[in-house]
Amino acid sequence: MKTLFGATAGLGAVVAATSAFAADLPMKKGPYTKAPPAVMATVYDWSGFYVGFNAGGGSSRDCWNLISNAGVAVNPAANREGCSGGGGAAVGGQVGYRYQMANWVFGVEAQGDWADFKGTNRNLILPNVSDRSRTNGFGLFTGQVGYAFDNILGYVKGGAAVVGDRYDTFNTTTNVMLDRANTTRWGGTIGAGIEYGFAPNWSVGVEYDHIFLGNKNLNFVAAAGAPAMTHRINQNVDIGLVKLNYKFGPGFGQGFGMMR
């Protein structure tokens, strides 16, 4: 009995000592990989003032109706003189401001261009007379709404337009000018474009604009003793331009989402 008791007590002491030693050992940790820190995606920022240069071309469609001849009124609906669709080059500049909210971009822009859109049509009433139309320049004052895909911006625009025109008639056989008129016309414009930001402050794009000018009655000034005439001229202008812009301020900003 004493032997059994002694053996049991010794075994208990060994178990206790082993447990205490195991408790003092550090816990073994397995291998792990540290997660990379979360960062904000960097996207193109369209907000800010900008200036730019543009070049391209366009065409002006001018339809003439005779209103009076030497002071004698006529029915314009029955005196259609014909239409011309002359085209040519345009070059100019623009200045504007944009503000970006998430992917939406809002802006205003003023643009002015020299132009050389000219065309001639044979007068349908007077076979020996030709009518010549020329657009010398135009200006656009518009608001913009766009949607940005990082550094690609698509937008639509609309507002007011002003156009400088010169009109004249001449003898088709002798090329002698008969009468002429210079005028400035106001109307409306709509357009659309797409722009690509290729550097932090630089972008390039293409744009189409249509100008609505409606009808205007013009009193022509006689030349070479010809009787003065009054014409009602309806005009619409279509323009295609390549635009290069420089934006002041940062070209990139913090994005709207997290990435790892």
Instruction: Note the pLDDT of residue 15.
Output: 38
- Asked if residue 42 has pLDDT above 60, the reply is yes
In this structure, is residue 226 part of a structural domain? yes
The least confident of 50-64, 152-166, 214-228, 246-260 is 246-260
Q: What is the pLDDT of residues 91-125, one digit of tens each?
A: 999 999 999 999 999 999 999 999 999 999 999 98
CATH number, position 191? 2.40.160.20
Domains: count for the chain = 1
**DSSP 8-state secondary structure symbol assigned to residue 249:** S
3-state secondary structure of 116: strand
In this structure, is residue 236 part of a structural domain? yes
In this structure, is residue 138 part of a structural domain? yes
Radius of gyration of the chain from Cα atoms?
A: 38
Buried b (16+ CB within 10 A) or exposed e, 50-87: bebebebbbbbbbbbbbbbbeeeeeebeebebbbbebb
3-state secondary structure of 59: strand
- % of residues, the chain, pLDDT over 70: 78
In this structure, is residue 197 part of a structural domain? yes
In this structure, is residue 71 part of a structural domain? yes
CA atoms within 13 A of residue 12's CA, in its CB half-sphere: 6
Mean pLDDT, all residues of the chain: 84
- Asked if residue 182 has pLDDT above 90, the reply is yes
In this structure, is residue 8 part of a structural domain? no
- Asked if residue 12 has pLDDT above 70, the reply is no
Q: What is the pLDDT of residues 62-89, one digit of tens each?
A: 999 999 877 777 787 778 999 998 899 9
- Structural domain of residue 170, as residue ranges? 46-251
Mean pLDDT confidence for 171-189: 93
